[in-house]
Amino acid sequence: MAQQTVLPVCAGTLSQTELDAKIDALIGQMTPAERIGELQDRAAGVPRLKIPAYNWWNEGLHGAARNGFATVFPQAIGMAATWDAALIGQEATVISTEARAKFNPQQNSDSLRYAGLTIWSPNINIFRDPRWGRGQETYGEDPYLTGLLGSQFVHGIQGDAAGVTFYRKADATPKHFAVHSGPESIRDAFDAKASEHDLADTYTPAFRALTGADGARSAAIMCSYNRINGVPACANPILQDRLRDGWGFGGYVVSDCDAVGNITEYHHYTADPAHGAAAALKAGTDLDCGRTYAHLSEALDQKLITLDDIDRSLHRLLLERLRLGMLQPASCSPYSKIGPGEVDTAANRKLALKAAEESMVLLKNDGNTLPLAAGKRIAVIGPTADLLQAIEANYHGTAHHPETLLDGLKGASTSKISYAQGSMLAEGFPEPVSRTALRSGSGAAAAEGLKAEYFSNTDLSGAPMATRMDRTINFDLDRAVPVDGLKTGYSVRWTGFLKPPAPGEYKLHVAIERCWDCTTHDGYRLLIDGKVAVEDDGKRGNLPPVSFHWADTAPHAVTLEFRHTGEDEGIQLQWEAPAEAQLAEAVAAATDADVVLAVVGLSPDLEGEAMPVKIPGFDGGDRVTLGLPEPQKRLLAELAKLNKPTVLVVTSGSAVALGDEAKGVQAVMEAWYSGEEGGQALAELLTGRVNPSGRLPVTIYRSEADLPAFTDYSMAHRTYRYYDGPVEYPFGFGLSYSKFAYSEPKLSKATAKDGDSLEVRATVKNAGSHDGDEVAELYLIPPTGSGAPRLTLQGVERLHLKAGESGETKFVLTARQLSLVDADGKRALYAGKYRIYVGGAQPTDLATAGVELEIEGGQALKP
């Protein structure tokens, strides 16, 4: 028997007037307490009115996240490096399809966190400072590029491309409105002070493009933790004045998690939670991710708010649930038939491969070192080469068949590949025990890895359900299982030997990725040479490492027992190995190779959101310095002494200044956090089967010394738009195995006036010998001394051209794209002589670049 619903008919068949009346009538039957309960992310539901509970919190930054197996695309910063808006839309379409596939079986019933249709992505904050750990979640430092890519992400998530007018496939939620980009350690109480000019010129244009009535029309938007010029973002008049009144946003506003509570607890903006909740609700925050809106009952009693204030937000939320196909027969939604078979398909993995290939940026290629010739002996060396986290990034799903960069290279290459970890990621930061140290037996012929026995119970009893070899113990188990067929309650026993690469002091550690709000946790026991080294029954949390001094390289018996009884998200067997031992192993591997492939950089365990990391170079998820961590610098210095041809592959979510470390290498590839197909993509690019085409969505500065203070939110001397000093690699830069030549751009008219659009055309020729993609970039260069940015990106087009082939780019520039913002934040067309440049990178001489355009000023534009 079908479950009863609020509406027995399809909401999409009703007029807006009829629908509003039914929603208001439903709200009228609810008590004040019931209404308040629906304004929180864990909406309680009202069973007597057939309203099921619903958990609004879901994530989909670069794949359906935190809810089992899903397609894992490159991290958002890597998506941005494709400069391919259509591709971003295709990725978002997959994300919403996989979210739907997980949600539909539980339609019109309570949902788990991360299992709903309200996806809290994309993150379109401007990556104004490379020290920000969450910058990896963004589309980079440019407002235009961010708005272009983010708009396509919104369309893909919401299903707009299907032509459906009422029903949504899922909700996109651009975040964090509006001035938010670190520091992480003080974000809950931080006051981001931004001028009216910077607000209108840099911090809000992408939000306007995604949420405005003349933009992508996202269903929702998320307000941020910080204050904006003294007022907490979730209680700030900007929500009404700019977002709704200025841009015509018609959706709902959700707070970042506990941001409403922060209004009182951290910002001390109000006297108590009731006043804080009232301030947020009256400002326009409809949904509280947290529990502070429970205090709205007190606010109502104290007449700080009215029932109409509550009803206004509740109406928006109920309307949205109807647009998602909830509270009515499931068959009403055109997306109701999407099922589990559409998760992790071959087509989705193929798209992940294409995204990874387009995302990687070739930064250096001296002497045409790349592509590598077939048959070379390659030594893959570095701490992120075999690191699962370096392909997953943060806010990720679980790849069904995860392959590290090393695995992908081995699987896709015909070359002989050796491997050494080489160093730790950073000082005092453990790394998963290298596969070269784990052995199935104690003899010289033993296979890499440990024997793994998987049991369908939690006490390791009876015969194992499956037995296999696991090369490393580094598993992402977020609502996923390591062996198909296992249920939530299972156990694993890994056995074998650990062979230290050299004598010295070793620290071993078992790390459980804890589910932060779960009531039960996983347990484990580690035995070395038959003796218990560390044990946790699931109640003690992650324990300190255990030290061993091994006087030789004799193998030591290892047994690791793991009991998965809760909702914890992964397990790692980690070590801190002696630097000298790892360096010696790396040098030995490199000595026997023709080419060294050094895979270095960062990991999302070093840079990320509000992390408990405080070690040299890192603080609370942010970076203190822009260079590589010291252990990796020492590794590269040792490898340089061998004078071997060396290719540097950098994994990161932010700009890494390579400095002297890059001078001795022949080629550099920025791989970002490249997703589940990153290893194969890297192999395709290094061997020339695919031609590199990625572009930097950020500036790679020489040093943090070139930047203003991290806490300074003024855009002066920040990003390519306002920074005119020397850099390592500029925004928009990226090499190819081919050469592309551009004609001078042709304008449809030499003078722009009265808000007319302008058409710009240019011819691009592949003048090299390799087929490939070229990313054409259009820059507008304002008059010198105008107070405007040095130049601004205003057009992007990706072309595929065969060797010798030519193609034409066509750009249309609107009046808004030709406009500037004054000191008071007013946007208008300003008179003067501008220049229009089209090329494969930024122009080097702004005074002579491209062609001249005369703009007749005077026209004011909307905010």
**Do residues 605 and 136 make contact, with C-beta atoms less than 8 angstroms apart?**
no
392 is catalytic: no
pLDDT grade for 415, boundaries at 50, 70 and 90: confident
Residue 689 pLDDT greater than 70, yes or no: yes
Q: What is the mean pLDDT of residues 509-517?
A: 86
pLDDT digits (tens, 9 = 90+) for 788-846: 999 999 999 999 999 999 999 999 999 999 999 999 999 999 999 999 999 999 999 99
Tokens of residue 45, six digits: 């539901």
Would you tell me which CATH number, out of the four given (3.40.1190.10, 2.40.10.10, 3.40.50.2000, 2.60.120.260), belongs to the domain 435-576?
2.60.120.260
pLDDT grade for 161, boundaries at 50, 70 and 90: low
Alpha carbon distance 370, 433 (integer Å): 31
Residue 106 pLDDT greater than 90, yes or no: no
Closest CA to 381 of 435, 421, 328: 421
Residue 22 pLDDT greater than 90, yes or no: yes
pLDDT grade for 3, boundaries at 50, 70 and 90: low
pLDDT grade for 32, boundaries at 50, 70 and 90: very high
Alpha carbon distance 334, 59 (integer Å): 22
Residue 334 pLDDT greater than 60, yes or no: yes
Task: For domain 55-306, give the CATH number.
Answer: 3.20.20.300
Its sign, for the CA torsion 441, 442, 448, 452, is positive
Residue 160 pLDDT greater than 70, yes or no: yes
Q: Residue 661, Cα to own-chain centre: how many angstroms?
A: 27
Q: What is the mean pLDDT of residues 47-57?
A: 96
Beta-bridge partner residues of 618:
615, 623
Q: Residue 410, Cα to own-chain centre: how many angstroms?
A: 26
Q: What is the pLDDT of residue 859?
A: 85
Q: What is the pLDDT of residue 108?
A: 74
Residue 203 pLDDT greater than 90, yes or no: yes
Tokens of residue 310, six digits: 């509550």
Q: What is the 3-state secondary structure (H, E, C) of 755-811?
A: CCCEEEEEEEEECCCCCEEEEEEEEEECCCCCCCCCCEEEEEEEEEECCCCEEEEEE
**Do residues 295 and 288 make contact, with C-beta atoms less than 8 angstroms apart?**
no
Q: What is the mean pLDDT of residues 598-618?
A: 97
Q: What is the pLDDT of residue 651?
A: 98
Closest CA to 369 of 594, 660, 586: 594
Closest CA to 355 of 669, 681, 801: 681
Q: What is the pLDDT of residue 787?
A: 79
Tokens of residue 159, six digits: 């299903």
Q: What is the pLDDT of residue 475?
A: 96
Amino acid identity, position 376: K
**Do residues 842 and 852 make contact, with C-beta atoms less than 8 angstroms apart?**
no
Q: What is the pLDDT of residue 162?
A: 66
Alpha carbon distance 499, 442 (integer Å): 8
pLDDT digits (tens, 9 = 90+) for 638-657: 999 999 999 999 999 999 99
Q: What is the pLDDT of residue 519?
A: 78
The strand order across the sheet containing 361-365 reads 361-365, 667-670, 646-651, 595-601, 377-381, 416-420
What are the residue ranges spanned by the domains of the chain?
A: 55-306, 435-576, 738-855
Catalytically annotated residue among 478, 568, 607, 773: 607
pLDDT digits (tens, 9 = 90+) for 226-258: 999 999 999 999 999 999 999 999 999 999 999
**Do residues 664 and 642 make contact, with C-beta atoms less than 8 angstroms apart?**
no
Catalytically annotated residue among 38, 84, 160, 256: 256
Residue 517 pLDDT greater than 80, yes or no: no
Report the Cα–Cα distance between both ends of the chain, in Å, rounded: 52
pLDDT digits (tens, 9 = 90+) for 169-202: 999 999 999 999 999 999 999 999 999 999 999 9
**pLDDT above 70 coverage of the chain, percent:** 99
What are the residues whose beta carbons fall under 8 Å from the beta carbon of 851, sequence distance 6 or more? 744, 745, 746, 747, 835, 836
Residue 23 pLDDT greater than 60, yes or no: yes
pLDDT digits (tens, 9 = 90+) for 434-451: 999 999 999 988 999 999
Instruction: Name the CATH architecture for the domain at 738-855.
Output: Sandwich (2.60)
Largest CA distance in the chain: 83
The strand order across the sheet containing 227-228 reads 191-192, 227-228, 231-232
pLDDT grade for 18, boundaries at 50, 70 and 90: very high
Q: What is the pLDDT of residue 1?
A: 37
Q: What is the mean pLDDT of residues 604-630?
A: 97
Dihedral angle computed from the Cα positions of residues 813, 814, 818 and 820, in that order, rounded to the nearest 10 degrees: -150
623 phi and psi, to 5 degrees? -100, 145
**Do residues 815 and 857 make contact, with C-beta atoms less than 8 angstroms apart?**
no
536 is catalytic: no
Give exposure, 804-841, as e/b (b: 16+ Cβ within 10 Å). Answer: eeebebebebebbbbbbbbeebebebbebebbbbbbbb
**pLDDT above 90 coverage of the chain, percent:** 92
Q: What is the pLDDT of residue 690?
A: 98
**Do residues 795 and 747 make contact, with C-beta atoms less than 8 angstroms apart?**
no
Packing angle, helices 307-323 and 273-283, rounded to 10: 60
**Do residues 624 and 638 make contact, with C-beta atoms less than 8 angstroms apart?**
no
Q: What is the pLDDT of residue 516?
A: 72
- Residue 113 CB coordination number (10 Å): 15
Closest CA to 647 of 413, 332, 343, 458: 413
What are the residues whose beta carbons fall under 8 Å from the beta carbon of 429, sequence distance 6 or more? 605, 606, 613, 615, 629
328 phi and psi, to 5 degrees? -155, 170
Same fold, 55-306 and 435-576: no
From residue 208, alpha-carbon distances to 93, 150, 151, 247 in Å are 22, 11, 10, 7
Beta-bridge partner residues of 454:
466, 492
What rounded mean pLDDT belongs to the chain?
Answer: 96
pLDDT digits (tens, 9 = 90+) for 653-670: 999 999 999 998 999 999
pLDDT digits (tens, 9 = 90+) for 706-736: 999 999 999 999 999 999 999 999 999 999 9
